[in-house]
Amino acid sequence: MRQIEGGVTAAKGFMAASTEARIKYSGREDLVLLYAESPCTAAGVFTRNQVKAAPVLWDRALIDQERQVRAVVINAGIANACTGKEGEGVCKKTAQETARLLGIDSEEVLIASTGVIGMQIPFDKLKTGLLPMKRMLSPELEAGNRAAKAIMTTDTHEKECAVQFFVDGISCTLGGMAKGSGMIHPDMGTMLSFVTTDAAISRELLQKALSDVVEDTFNMISVDGDTSTNDTLLVLANGASGAKRIEEEGPAYEIFREALFFVCAHLSQMLAGDGEGATALFEVIVKGADTREHARTLAKSVITSSLTKAALFGHDANWGRILCALGYAGVPFDPEQVSLTITSANGTLDIFANGCALDFDDATAALILSAEKVTAICDMHAGSEEACAWGCDLSYDYVKINADYRS
Amino acid sequence: MRQIEGGVTAAKGFMAASTEARIKYSGREDLVLLYAESPCTAAGVFTRNQVKAAPVLWDRALIDQERQVRAVVINAGIANACTGKEGEGVCKKTAQETARLLGIDSEEVLIASTGVIGMQIPFDKLKTGLLPMKRMLSPELEAGNRAAKAIMTTDTHEKECAVQFFVDGISCTLGGMAKGSGMIHPDMGTMLSFVTTDAAISRELLQKALSDVVEDTFNMISVDGDTSTNDTLLVLANGASGAKRIEEEGPAYEIFREALFFVCAHLSQMLAGDGEGATALFEVIVKGADTREHARTLAKSVITSSLTKAALFGHDANWGRILCALGYAGVPFDPEQVSLTITSANGTLDIFANGCALDFDDATAALILSAEKVTAICDMHAGSEEACAWGCDLSYDYVKINADYRS
């Protein structure tokens, strides 16, 4: 497996188009059409929020019915959440219009939205935007890149990742895109993420690989502890590579799972590092835990601690806050056994061991903490399980962005 | 029952002294001695954080042993958490020194600390501060007020509350003080709070009343979702009022419980409203829930949502974030049934009902949200249970205070 350029159009047989539909933004593209030349096996994971956006309900129904998928329509600016019957109607009309344009079935069209909650999508604008998109569809990497930009809201850059891998000697590609960057505390997938592959795989195994990989990738990131109403992660597999269909667990499935993990882990880290107002990606590795679940819970507790995040923003090695966040995670452990190390491109420093702070130099710590990616390694000395979580620092800009998001 | 002036010295037989011991701060008082002229029945609730500060372990042991209490020593600036054996030693020496000065037993001395985690308390400074405090002890309200100021860290003002009530016609008093104002997400008591009363009550009922009242007061506030290592809430009852000892549940117990609830609820709201960087107290009332526990969980989810708190800071009626926070609380409900009203001294506005936003005026909403105390009322229309939680907005100053707390 090797990383290659590209995103959702990296795999064979997938095309993308994007346009400025002015649904809420203007002066930028805000509507994306993703199209598969042949029917795709689809899998998805969605928000566990009790309040689910209309497109989440639409997609989940189609995924549950094991429908094959040909297209995905994505808009940025308005989330189509808390929009009642009118919002459901917009989804249905969007699918019908897309199906008519592409000559496919409306139940082969998935939909995703992101943006302000509670506002209705002006369907006339969305329809006007859709009309010319069929002829704009392109399989080029550039089209995938424009799509990754068009789905952004407060993101500062697009997020794409792709890999090449081999199934029985046949080259397959898997690529994806994602967008954040606030209300990020996924409890299934992230806000919006789309992965395409030309590998062939059964629906059951595709869903299994996705659900499995999500636990250690998208479900291990947090920007602000708020689980969105719109979290959606879709994977489409069209089999265009010509590789043998993966229908049972085994070496080919493991290779596929590894590729999916790589892309999801990269997209997750990109989301965390581009969290609203973030100046640094914060990685927390908990090792030496007694169970995997405990390791995950401990790591997530640290990346979601506002105090720890603010200290990181200030490049302050306030390790007491990390210990404190481990302590309230709800996992039993002996504080006397914990050791803590911080590391980044700027160096490595042991700062806590055996229940006491080590004698470290604050200036060295500040230098380490001023890198673009900072890792804290917490060794619980209680077992051999490990987990990794990704977050970001808490800055003035997070407050600024969110004090005035609607206007 | 009526509210009266004062705090920990409002009840008969309690004295306080405070001094500038320069344990970490200078130019302000940072050490408090609270003294009871006669032995007190004591009850306490403490942090559930796995990482417990040395004074928390000290106090809990004495409370568990059902010891009578004569004094409490409190310092601000250093939390004495994550300090190992040396930190435990400081507690023991503090109790011994206090006992020697006051002519009491060292196991009648409780200890509380607040401030930076992981730093050792310089015991020589603490001892030097303690030496002259016996003759400074005073039963005046002013002494209680100075104590409430001396225990502050990033608090912007002291927090006191007292009430007078009658047990069988005899006047009793109950008063307390508390301090915040970051790392506030209590999971038993708050950072530090002390309540004294001259009512007489059995240890069992005092602990029962406290544990009960805490669930609806200190455990319903959050500033930043971080549960401290030092949360301590102590109640001392000395019986100096001469009122009959409360030894069973009944009318007298109910009156006592009501007085304790009033003082704890007021101190809790003061803590939330003075959260680090806060410009407003945010009250969330969830009514019409199917169970009390669900109502509590829903209300706490909203007050801890960073996005909702940032929107409040911006006076932005971004109600979608409130719906979203209800949705990820982990409580099942039908979003179509929820209604939402915001209210403050500046007016009242219905903003959401039956799964859709109402047609409200943004300027009116902004005016309501710009008050010092803002209340959101969420009616789930699913039952008759209710709960109330208190938090604050998320401002630039929260980040500023916490990016650079140690220096």
Residues A228 and A370 in one domain: no
Q: Which of A118, A228, A335 is facing B50, going by the closest CB pair?
A: A335
Query: Looking at residue A138, what DSSP letter applies?
Result: B
Domain end position, chosen among A221, A243, A273: A273
Whether a cis peptide bond, with omega within 30° of 0, leads into B181 is yes
Distance CA B364, CA B317 (A): 10
CA–CA separation, A151 and A234 (whole Å): 14
Type and span of the H or E element at B75: strand B69-78
Q: pLDDT value at position A340?
A: 95
CB A368 within 8 A of CB A351: no
Structure tokens at A331: 């996992």
CB B273 within 8 A of CB B373: yes
Last residue within a domain, chosen from A254, A273, A292? A273
CATH of the domain at A346: 3.10.20.340
pLDDT at B271: 83
Chain A residues within an 8 Å CB radius of B355: 82, 84
The answer to whether residue A51 neighbours chain B at the CB level (below 8 Å) is yes
Residues A257 and A288 in one domain: no
From the first residue on, what is the mean pLDDT of each consecutive set of 10 residues in chain B (407 residues)? 93 95 95 95 85 91 93 93 91 98 97 88 97 96 96 88 91 89 54 85 91 84 72 86 92 92 88 84 95 93 89 88 88 91 94 85 92 95 94 86 64
| Assigned token pair, A77 | 């600016």
Active-site entry in B190, B197, B229, B308: B190
pLDDT given for residue A189 in this prediction: 38
Please check whether residues B232 and B363 belong to one and the same domain: no
User: CB of B318 within 8 Å of any CB in chain A?
Assistant: yes
Among A269, A266, A286, residue whose Cα is nearest residue A392: A269
Q: Is the dihedral of CA A83, A86, A88, A92 positive or negative?
A: negative
Is A190 annotated in the active site?
yes
- Residue B187 makes CB contacts below 8 A (sequence gap 6+) with A328, B47, B48, B49, B219, B227, B231
The reply to whether B360 touches chain A by the CB within 8 Å rule is no
Place of tokens 């502050």: B152
Distance between A2 CA and the closest CA of chain B, angstroms: 37
Q: Which residue type is seen at A2? A: R
* Torsions phi, psi for A377 (to 5 deg): -110, 115
Residues of A in contact with B406 (CB under 8 A): 316, 318
Are B269 and B289 in the same domain?
no
ipTM, two decimals: 0.72
Q: Please give the pLDDT value at position A191.
A: 63
B323 touches chain A (CB under 8 A): yes
Q: Which residues pair with B339 in a beta bridge?
A: B379
The DSSP 8-state label assigned to residue A154 in this structure reads S
Are residue A267 and residue A300 in the same domain, yes or no? no
Handedness of CA B332, B334, B335, B338 (dihedral sign): negative
Residues B19 and B117 in one domain: yes
Please indicate, yes or no, whether residues A104 and A177 belong to a single structural domain of this protein. Answer: yes
Q: Give tens-digit pLDDT for B62-115.
A: 999 999 999 999 999 998 988 889 999 999 999 999 999 999 999 999 999 988
Contact between chains at B229 and A406 (C-beta distance less than 8 A): no
* Chain A positions in Cβ-Cβ contact with residue B307 (cut-off 8 Å): 182-183, 224, 226, 402
Give the number of domains in chain A. Answer: 2
The per-residue pLDDT for B188 is 36
The pLDDT, as a whole number, for residue A100 is: 97
- Residues whose CB is less than 8 angstroms from the CB of residue B44 and which lie 6 or more positions away in sequence, other chains included: B59, B60, B63, B110, B189, B210, B232, B233, B234, B235
R_g (Cα) of chain B, nearest Å: 22
Domain end point (choices B273, B307, B340): B273
pTM of the model as a whole: 0.79
Question: Rounded to whole angstroms, how far apart are CA atoms B177 and A260?
Answer: 55
Using CA atoms, how far apart are residues A54 and A113, in angstroms rounded to an integer?
9
Write the Ramachandran bin of B242: left for phi over 0, alpha for psi from -120 to 50, otherwise beta.
left
Residues of A in contact with B188 (CB under 8 A): none
Rg (CA), chain A: 22
- Which residue range forms the structural domain that includes residue B342? 281-403
Note the helical H segments in B30-157: 54-64, 84-102, 123-130, 141-150
Ranges of chain A with pLDDT below 70: 181-191, 225-226, 404-407
Q: How many CB atoms neighbour CB B5 within 10 A?
A: 12
Q: Which of A190, A217, A304, A343 is catalytic?
A: A190
- Is A136 in the same domain as A237? yes
CB A66 within 8 A of CB A105: no
Q: In terms of domains, do B260 and B360 share one?
A: no
8 Å CB contact of A226 and B324: yes
Spatial separation of the C-alpha atoms in residues A225 and A185, rounded to whole Å: 5
B229 and B312 both lie in a single domain = no
Q: Which CATH number characterizes residue A165's domain?
A: 3.60.70.12
Task: Please provide the DSSP assignment of B283-351 as one string.
Answer: EEEEEEESSHHHHHHHHHHHHT-HHHHHHHHTT---HHHHHHHHHTSS----GGG-EEEEEETTEEEEE
- Asked if B265 and B309 sit in the same domain, the reply is no
My answer on whether B320 and B260 are in the same domain is: no
